[in-house]
Structure 1
Amino acid sequence: MTDVLERRADALAEKLDGLEAAMAAEAEQGLPRITRLETEYLRAVTAAELEWVRAVVEDLRAGSLASSKEQLDALAAGSAQ
């Protein structure tokens, strides 16, 4: 699971770099901020997701977000009643 999340974090970081480059290029063109709002929004959402994914990876590595199949089975069995 950590491997998949780390790949997701890498992809998000790359996307974030691209969005920041696009914002810088748009600003250099002298365009008003209103024309960059969509890019700003996408940058903010991407940055938030990246922060969350990195925090989950950190928790998994630290063992504070570990669960076993047995724990999940017990939880599922309890909610089925």
Structure 2
Amino acid sequence: MGKFLLWAVIILAVLLVSRILSHQKAAARQAAGRRQDADTRLAAESMVRCAHCHIFLPRSEAYMSQGKTWCSADHARLGLKK
């Protein structure tokens, strides 16, 4: 009977420790995800407006010509909308 109680206590202790560790890992993953979301928000790119059609697009995708921003080379060729 004494051996049975000893093994029961050992098994319960192992289960308790494994549960604590799994919760710590889940919390660490969740915190890392929040940090990554915050980094993504900080790295947001500025938006510019096409001089022809007036849509907004990221600066890295804009076409620069004649000192203005355009959404495509076609709109730069067409110029300002009348």
User: TM-score, normalised on structure 2?
Assistant: 0.35
Task: Considering fraction of residues, name the structure with more helix.
Answer: 1
User: TM-score, normalised on structure 1?
Assistant: 0.35
With CA pairs under 8 Å and 6+ residues apart, which has the higher RCO, 1 or 2? 1
Task: Considering fraction of residues, name the structure with more strand.
Answer: 2
